[in-house]
Amino acid sequence: MKFLKAVLILMLVFTSCKSSKSAIGSAVEPKAISAKKISNKHFQNRFHKNTVEARLKVAYQDNNNKQKLSVKLRIDKDKVIWLNATYIGVIVARAKITPSSVSYYEKLNKTFFKGDFELLKNMLGTDVNFSQLQNLLLGQAIFDLNAQKFKSVVDNDAYLLLPTEQQALFNILFWINPIHFKLDKQELNSALKNQTLKVAYKKYTNIEGETFPKNIEIRAKGNEKFTNIDIEYRSVIFNKILSTPFKVPSGYKQVVF
């Protein structure tokens, strides 16, 4: 199923009681501060709750397909990411990701995948992990900003962090919001593979004291192919006890990437 494959493969190939809500803007002119201070503030404002249960509206488009889905998302922080996709109320796919495993099945073609992150690591020649996908969904940088040195400039009312030495495989850029120090955008480019991944956080809300994404836009291009994913969080609940069931139905065929 297109959306889940994009979450599990495409995004990682570059590295996968309701409370009142209020929109958080970004209409402030940032003052120049050090990259280290920006990185520290971004880390301090990371997600602090234990679990997330959310309902998403997802629009997916690539060169050949276009579809809209409803998705249930459950995150047990640092342990499990669980997704259940439905179309017109019917389950079409389910995925479960842990720090050591990636599993999903989709009903249209009756296929499933079970494996780990090693395949993606071999494809990239660099480590990819569970926390990168988790951070992407929570508005955090998918790479540790304290793991290397950055320089900062003010760009379009945001702090742009540029590594003083870019990685061999990727060029990476991070735009940090000057109000809440979550991401406005992160961008990864691979000239070697002619690939670009842009993740933009168009709006945040305040839920139980957490600055949480409201809308995420994912744009990927490479080798004359493109993938667009628009995610809207419709409802979000924190610190609920979660169940993350996953069982491949009988008769499904295993796929290998």
- The 10s digit of each residue's pLDDT in 122-181 is 544 455 688 888 998 999 998 889 888 999 999 989 999 998 886 666 688 999 999 999
- C-alpha separations of 19 from 150, 189, 205 in Å: 37, 38, 11
Q: Are 98 and 150 in contact (CB under 8 A)?
A: no
Residue-range domains of the chain with CATH:
2-16+22-242 (2.50.20.10)
Confidence at 235, pLDDT banded by 50, 70, 90? very high
pLDDT tens readout for residues 22-78: 445 555 677 889 999 999 999 999 999 999 999 999 998 888 888 889 999 999 999
Q: Indicate whether 217 pLDDT > 60.
A: yes
Assign 244 to helix, strand or coil. coil
pLDDT at 61: 86
- What predicted TM-score, i.e. pTM, was given to this entire model? 0.84
Q: Are 195 and 185 in contact (CB under 8 A)?
A: no
Q: Which residue has the tokens 């959306």?
A: 3
pLDDT tens readout for residues 67-121: 889 999 999 999 999 999 998 888 889 999 999 988 889 898 899 988 887 755 5
